[in-house]
Every structure is written in C-alpha cells, then in structure tokens.
Amino acid sequence: MNEIDFKNLLGSYQQKSFDLFTQVIALEAKIATANQTIESLTLKINQLSAELDKKNKRSNKNNEDFSTSSIE
C-alpha cells in the first residue's frame, strides 16, 4: 500500500466511524423516547388499576350490605 491508499483507507474509516456514531446517537434517542412512553403508559395503567380496585371494593361492599340486609 502506498501513501494514497492509506489516506483513502483512513478517510473511509473516518467516514464509517462518523456514520456509525451518528446511528448510535439516533438509536439512543429513540430508546430514550420509547422508555419515556413506557413509563408514562405504566403510570397510567397503575392509576387505572387503582381506580378499578376502588370501584370493585365499593361494589363488593354494596353487594355485601345488600346481601346481609335482605337476609334479616
């Protein structure tokens, strides 16, 4: 290999390194966005589950009150 070959090889390595580095940054940004979406949706699921549990507890309590009052 002569000097021109080495310069071309080095230039190719530099360009490929830059391209891969740019791709890594873009993918990390996408991952961060996806993680934020997952956290947001998980929080919403937990809130809705808690709300549903409260409704179920109230419903069960009302059914128990109705059942015991009808027996008497």
Domain that holds residue 29: 19-43
Q: How confident is the model at residue 15 (pLDDT cuts 50, 70, 90)?
A: very high
Is residue 30 domain-resident? yes
Asked whether residue 26 is domain-assigned, the answer is yes
| pLDDT reading at 59 higher than 90 | no
- Is residue 39 in a domain? yes
Is residue 28 one of the residues assigned to a domain? yes
d(CA 59, CA 52): 10
Q: Indicate the number of domains in the chain.
A: 1
At 67 the pLDDT is: 62
pLDDT mean across residues, the chain: 90
On whether residue 37 sits in a domain, the answer given is yes
72, part of any domain: no
> In the prediction, which pLDDT does 52 show?
94
9 CB contacts (<8 Å, ≥6 apart)? 1
Once rounded to an integer, what is the mean pLDDT over residues 47-55?
A: 94
Model pTM above 0.75: no
How many angstroms separate the Cα of 7 from the Cα of each of 11, 16, 32? 6, 14, 37
Question: Is 31 inside any structural domain?
Answer: yes
Residue 66 has pLDDT above 70, yes or no: no
